[in-house]
């Protein structure tokens, strides 16, 4: 019988490097965080695969390559405050927490938010603040933010979020109406104008309005 080779952390890191991830800090963080903690029991053996996987509430934990690209593009340092829209499993939140001063993360599904909050607390992550709300509105009490990351796809760049970014701040967001036509964009705020760059084609769940109580 042919033995199937397990795809381990080493294979994942090699794959990320080959696909353009060069930021050593980002690679180190991915190496040291156990992604299986953020994934359901029946899928844990797939945690090192470079693929998105289903989580509760019909959502997904992003592909490690996309997490790495978005994080690398944000160019974060330890003095920065980061707003994340779409907590999901909390995996991207913990990656951000290792690079920044504070992370403010918003999720519309209360169930996902509570699960991610408990998990990060059990891992003794103390610089992430959680909010159950419609992230499209941002977090005005805590604005402005040095960086904003949106991990769900919007039909267009939400102006409300742009208004919560500092001058020279960076936002990364997938933009596109349907599943097949989304582009990850990097937006840099320069006074009253914005520089927009396309990073890569992506496939995210949609950014939806309102919040879900359960
Ligand atoms: N960053 C997550 C990816 C989760 S998928 C991870 O690493 O696991 C995207 C998430 O965005 C989903 O959980 C979805 O419920 C959430 N979402 C979609 N629209 C939202 C909105 N308007 N406000 C907050 N969260 C939203």
Q: Which residues pair with 185 in a beta bridge?
A: 173, 198
Q: Is 107 in the pocket of ligand 1 (CB under 6 A)?
A: yes
pLDDT in the model for residue 2: 58
What is the 123 CA–ligand 1 centroid distance (Å)?
21
Q: What is the pLDDT of residues 121-136, one digit of tens each?
A: 999 999 999 999 999 9
Q: Are 128 and 106 in contact (CB under 8 A)?
A: no
- Alpha-carbon gap, residue 157 to 58, rounded angstroms: 24
For residue 100, indicate whether it is catalytic: no
How far, in Å, is the centroid of ligand 1 from the Cα of 2? Answer: 39
What is the whole-number distance in angstroms between the Cα of residue 88 and the centre of ligand 1? 5
What pLDDT is recorded for position 214? 82
Under 8 Å CB-to-CB from 189, ≥6 apart: which residues? 162, 165, 166, 167, 168, 169, 170, 171
Q: Which two tokens stand for residue 19?
A: 């696909």
Pairwise CA distance, residues 166 & 163, whole Å: 8
pLDDT score of 157 more than 90:
yes
Q: How far apart are CA 199 and CA 8, in angstroms?
A: 27
Look at residue 212 and tell me whether its pLDDT is greater than 80.
yes
For residue 163, how many other CB atoms are within 10 A of its CB? Answer: 12
Token pair of 173, please? 């967001």
Candidate from 64, 152, 154, 161 with most ligand 1 atoms within 8 A of CB, to mutate:
152
Determine which residue's CA is closest to atom 18 belonging to ligand 1.
207
Ligand 1, atom 17: closest residue by C-alpha: 86
Say what the pLDDT of residue 37 is: 97
Residue 3 has pLDDT above 80, yes or no: no
User: Partners of 182 in the beta sheet?
Assistant: 202
Instruction: Kindly report, residue by residue over 161-199, the tens digit of the pLDDT.
Output: 999 999 999 999 999 977 778 999 999 999 999 999 999
Write out pLDDT tens, residues 90-127: 999 999 999 999 999 999 999 999 999 999 999 999 99
Domains and CATH numbers, the chain: 9-202 (3.40.50.150)
Tens digits of residue pLDDT in 49-59: 999 999 999 99
* Residue 99 · residue 78 · CB < 8 Å: yes
Q: Quick one: what percent of the chain has pLDDT higher than 90?
A: 93
Write the CB contacts of 30 (distance below 8 Å, at least 6 apart in sequence). 12, 13, 16, 64, 67, 68, 95
CB distance 162 to ligand 1 below 6 Å: no
């Amino acid at each position: 019988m042919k033995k199937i080779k397990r795809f381990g952390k080493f294979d994942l890191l090699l794959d990320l490097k080959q696909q353009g991830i060069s930021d050593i800090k980002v690679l180190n963080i991915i190496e040291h965080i156990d992604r299986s903690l953020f994934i359901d029991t029946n899928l844990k053996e797939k945690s090192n695969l470079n693929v998105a996987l289903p989580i509760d509430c019909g959502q997904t934990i992003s592909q490690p390559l996309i997490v790495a690209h978005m994080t690398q593009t944000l160019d974060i340092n330890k003095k920065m405050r980061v707003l994340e829209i779409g907590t999901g499993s909390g995996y991207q939140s913990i990656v951000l927490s290792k690079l920044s001063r504070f992370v403010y993360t918003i999720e519309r599904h209360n169930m996902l938010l509570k699960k991610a909050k408990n998990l990060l607390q059990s891992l003794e992550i103390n610089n992430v603040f959680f909010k159950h709300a419609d992230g499209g509105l941002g977090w005005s009490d805590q604005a402005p933010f040095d960086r904003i990351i949106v991990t769900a796809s919007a039909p267009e760049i939400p102006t409300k979020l742009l208004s919560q970014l500092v001058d020279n701040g960076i936002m990364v967001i997938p933009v596109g109406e349907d599943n097949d036509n989304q582009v990850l964009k990097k937006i840099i705020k320069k006074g009253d104008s914005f520089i927009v760059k396309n990073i890569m084609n992506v496939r995210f769940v949609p950014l939806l309005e309102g919040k879900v109580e359960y």
